[in-house]
Amino acid sequence: MHRPTLLFAISVGSVFVACSPPASACTGITIKPKDGSVIFARTLEYAVDIRSEVIVVPRGRDHVGSTPGGRPGRHWRTRYASVGMNACGRPVFVDGLNERGLHVGVFYFPGYARYQAITAADEFRAVAPHELAGLLLGTCADVGEAVEAGRSGLLIRPGDGRQLYEALSALVGDDQRRQQMSRVGHTLARRKFDAEHNGRALLALTVEVTATHRRAGRAA
């Protein structure tokens, strides 16, 4: 069974500030062998080596999102293990695949990506653009858990060049649609990752850390 491809237009300038010269964009490639498998590939259209390395993130790893003001953002714990490539020595995914088969690629589309403003009330559920791939790979089993097709993102079938062209044309040529999708995605995130959700996650983490320290103290 083929999984649809999740189409993202994610600007990752904050990841590559120290190591990337001006570039036009990145190119995604999908190869479908006769055995029915799907191979994902991509170009990195930079004139320098971005020093990509293989990174592995296990299940149960805790993360805290970044915010413009430097305060803690959204907390999440990985439900699925992931493997992929990073850039510039950073512990973030440029491309990755989780144990359920979900693939996420971070593309560089300068001039097209837009982000909503982060208010003080939103900071506790915020993540930086370069952290989004890790969040999706660690918490989503498939694209249906990551995006609502046509509302917060666009889905294309692997290997369907025409559908990919139409999706990209729709995003590039319609600024209002991009902004609307951004607003819908923001609303979905607020609903899914509200204060109660984060409060429960932080409480569970506090209980676990306390129990670990107590066990270590008894062992000593």
Q: Is 65 a residue whose pLDDT tops 60?
A: yes
SS3 83: strand
pLDDT of residue 81: 95
The answer to whether the predicted template modeling score (pTM) of the entire model surpasses 0.85 is no
Residue 140 annotated in active site = no
pLDDT of residue 142: 86
| C-alpha pair distances (Å), 215 with each of 59, 69, 201, 218 | 22, 36, 21, 5
Mean pLDDT, the chain, whole residue set: 75
Q: Are strands 5-7 and 39-42 parallel, antiparallel or unpaired?
A: unpaired
pLDDT in tens, 30-49: 888 889 888 888 877 766 77
What average pLDDT does range 66-84 have in this prediction? Answer: 89
Q: Give burial (CB, 10 Å; 0-12/13-18/19+) of 40.
A: middle
pLDDT of residue 17: 38
Say which of 19, 26, 88, 140 is annotated catalytic.
Answer: 26
98 — pLDDT class (breaks 50, 70, 90): very high
117 — pLDDT class (breaks 50, 70, 90): confident
What average pLDDT does range 201-220 have in this prediction? Answer: 70
pLDDT of residue 107: 80
